[in-house]
Amino acid sequence: MSAPAPAFRDRVLALVARIPEGRVMTYGQLALLAGQPGAARQAGFVMNSLMGGGELPWQRVINAQGRVSTHKLGFGDMQERLLQAEGVVFDASGRCDLSRLQWWPEEAAPSAPEPLL
């Protein structure tokens, strides 16, 4: 896979910087909000460059199942511990409650469904 375009990378990093403590975003959500729907793998590529350090809260980006995806890279336990320190709770299967913890920027928050008549 080739490296993501610099503009996409910059948009992803700007979004990650805004994720509040104790909240999470998914790779697919990052790609969507960064203007490339369906580019979750490219968003993951950007995130891989941040793992284990830096000032951006890389640990707040997880997969669409509400799980940490970094175990194969050697950062899964660290990511879970960092999130738990922020109050994120994982169940016995390693999932957090995305319906409660997934963060959307105010300008991009999904709207409530229209009531059925």
Burial of 74 (C-beta count, 10 Å sphere; 0-12/13-18/19+): exposed
For residues 15 and 25, the answer to whether their CB atoms sit within 8 Å is yes
Q: What is the pLDDT of residues 83-100, one digit of tens each?
A: 999 999 999 999 999 999
The yes-or-no verdict on residue 110 having pLDDT over 90 is: no
Distance of CA 78 to CAs 4, 58, 74, 93, Å?
25, 11, 8, 17
Nearest partner of 71 among 94, 90, 41, 100, judged by Cα: 94
User: What CA–CA distance (Å, rounded) separates 83 from 86?
Assistant: 5
Q: What is the pLDDT of residues 42-85, one digit of tens each?
A: 999 999 888 767 789 999 999 999 999 888 888 879 999 999 99
Q: Domains in the chain, ordered, with CATH?
A: 6-104 (1.10.10.10)
Number of H helices, E strands in the chain: 5, 2
For residues 8 and 34, the answer to whether their CB atoms sit within 8 Å is yes
User: What CA–CA distance (Å, rounded) separates 102 from 8?
Assistant: 21
